[in-house]
Chain A
Amino acid sequence: MGNKSSLMLQEQDIKDIQEETGFLPGQIERLYSRFTSLDKGDNGSLSREDFLRIPELAINPLGDRIVHAFFKESEDDHVNFRQFVRVLAHFRPIKHNQENNLNAREEKLRFAFKMYDLDDDERISREELLAVLHMMVGENISDEQLNSIAERTILEADTDGDQMISFEEFCAALERSDVEQKMSIKFLK
């Protein structure tokens, strides 16, 4: 059951993490096992290279953005286990009346919003939208065409006329998408 590392995580830490994120102790131990196996330098923390060493993530068009989400909170460009689990907690499936402040629908939406909103100004500007579009299509679509797609998207979502997409407008635009389902990972007990 697990390997050497699972006993290096203290009981108290596990309890704290369980309170904060809602993960079960068994899940936390397995996530810790994964964390240490990614930590090639045995530093107790992960760098961007550690993440991008995962081939499946390296070929994901949004790979860099996803990795960036982990580093938003850290000051020294390293992610420790608490931060690691806190980010993953956003993707816990929602069970009725077991929501906590990390995996509620609004939190999932906010996570997706932050994928676009790089400068953290609570607005998605046209440049930010273009940046993500560019990551997803590569060199296959010309800049003019991308521009028109971006403009149309903003036009449809922008209700207060400021040419940018605020968080509320973002949530409204995603009203019909099954965000809970799409932003949930099936964690096993």
Chain B
Amino acid sequence: MIIPPFIILLVTVVVLASLGKSLGLRQKYVQFLLKVFEFGRQRLAKEYGRHSEDTDDDGQESTEVISRDKLVLRPLLDKDNNERLGTHEFELGDCLDYIRTGMEAIVDDEVTKRFSAEELTSWNFLTRTNCQYEFISIRLTIFWVVGFILRYCLLLPLRILILTIGIVVMVACTYFVGCLPESKMKKRLNSCVSVFCFDFLSGALSLVCTYHNKENIPRRGICVANHTTPIDVLVLACDNTYDMVGQRHGGFLSIFQRALSRASAHIWFERSEAKDRFAVARRLREHVEDPDKLPILIFPEGTCINNTSVMQFKKGTFEVGGIIYPVAIKYDPRFGDAFWNSSKDSMVSYIYMMMTSWAIVCDVWYLPPMTKREDESSIDFANRVKANIARQGGLVDLVWDGGLKRSAPKKEWKQQYQQEFSRRLKVQNVNSEKKEEKTE
């Protein structure tokens, strides 16, 4: 009795999810949302203006606290600064610059704000990005309530349904493909199946992605991209097939890892093996040098950053050789913040938040391939690629290591500043002992 309508619903949902993209349904949905947000922003400006005491012009909303145009401390990279050696007489005022830059860092530094969600300058009707805006005006409250009901009662169940079906379909398809013997047909089938499955799954998040410069799409070699969330993988895999590299996870992600591994040669590491750089590099090199294999997808930052900046690329990937295809991914924060703050949210609660956002909207730029020059070190090459990606995505290019999310900065960086100051300082007895400085 209930079964036929249920099946009809199921089929409709499946068809919609798989076709949704080609019918342009998701794009229309996103356009509609933008109009609603614009209304909300104007409304808010009117209402909030009443409550605010500031008579300053709020035309350009900014979250910046200070502007810094002098000394900013960073991990120094070039140590040969031979000017002004040993000519400066110490003065009591020499500490002032360090004090000021220290205070500036306390008020606003480049790094700590990259590890938490970006602040929005206007509201997008999600309580997680507000300061109790919904109580400011009746109309806004109504909008928020309607939005809430839509998201939790309509979108969420649909999305969970799509996700479940999607996982089942993916596991089944990859199993089937995995049963085939190695052949060209298997590779082609793997590509079709992979793109179809990921595309289907992207319906679970209402993913709307615009791909630019598809003439640069990677066909082999290594593809590198900036990392914001595990959804980056979904975004890229909807358009192209990759072999993935990463640590073996437990839980939710392990389902995907195992399923994918049946159909193609993905590279998953145990944590212990990941520490052995040579083993990692060897496996990567083997994969890259095999002309039949798919391009590898790697995120050289090594951790999730909040999509306002690109942090240091680990040089390991860039030592392997081969062609590097850089890709820049930029999420539109108005529809839902895609950043995964792994110290704050578990994977499951993160997925839950993603599925109750409006949509995930992003832009992907495929950049022209790059190779290491003869006279370039791996680190310089990594920085060159990073600079390109940052420029294309409109992100801040940072020298700092994403690992600072969890660990303290290296002592060598402070020592470098001590060295630099010592070199400038005028000392008597030039031939007395100077300790050798150890460098990284």
Q: Could you list which residues of chain A lie within 8 angstroms of chain B, going by C-beta atoms? A: 1-7, 24-27, 30-31, 33-34, 37-38, 51-63, 66, 88, 91, 111-112, 115-116, 132-133, 136-142, 144-145, 148-149, 152-153, 157, 165, 170, 173-174, 177, 179, 182-189
A-binding segment of B171-179, B243-251, B380-388, B430-438:
B430-438
Residue of B nearest to A84 (CB): B106
Most chain A CB within a 10 A radius of its CB, from B48, B108, B113: B108
Q: Could you list which residues of chain B lie within 8 angstroms of chain A, going by C-beta atoms? A: 48, 53-54, 56, 58, 61-69, 72-75, 90-113, 116, 119, 121, 129-132, 400, 404, 408-409, 413-415, 417-419, 421-423, 425, 427-429, 432-435, 437
- Asked if residues A3 and B131 are in contact (CB atoms below 8 Å), the reply is yes
A59 partner residues in chain B, CB cutoff 8 A: 73, 75, 409, 413-414, 417
A-B contacts, 14 listed (Cβ < 8 Å): A2-B119, A7-B131, A55-B109, A55-B112, A57-B105, A58-B409, A59-B413, A137-B418, A139-B435, A142-B434, A148-B428, A174-B93, A177-B96, A183-B99
- Asked if residues B132 and A4 are in contact (CB atoms below 8 Å), the reply is yes
Q: A3-B131, A55-B408, A187-B65 are in contact. List 7 more A-B contacts (CB 8 A).
A: A56-B72, A60-B73, A60-B101, A62-B95, A136-B98, A136-B418, A148-B427
In whole angstroms, how far apart are the Cα atoms of A53 and B73 in the complex?
A: 15
A188 partner residues in chain B, CB cutoff 8 A: 62, 64-67
- Asked if residues B417 and A60 are in contact (CB atoms below 8 Å), the reply is yes
B434 partner residues in chain A, CB cutoff 8 A: 140-142
B158 CB to nearest chain A CB (Å): 30
- Asked if residues B92 and A66 are in contact (CB atoms below 8 Å), the reply is no
A177 partner residues in chain B, CB cutoff 8 A: 91, 93, 96
A58 partner residues in chain B, CB cutoff 8 A: 408-409, 414
- Asked if residues B429 and A57 are in contact (CB atoms below 8 Å), the reply is no
In whole angstroms, how far apart are the Cα atoms of A16 and B256 in the complex?
A: 56
Residue of B nearest to A187 (CB): B66
Assuming the contacts A61-B417, A138-B422, asked whether A149 and B108 have C-beta atoms less than 8 A apart, the reply is no
In whole angstroms, how far apart are the Cα atoms of A54 and B74 in the complex?
A: 12
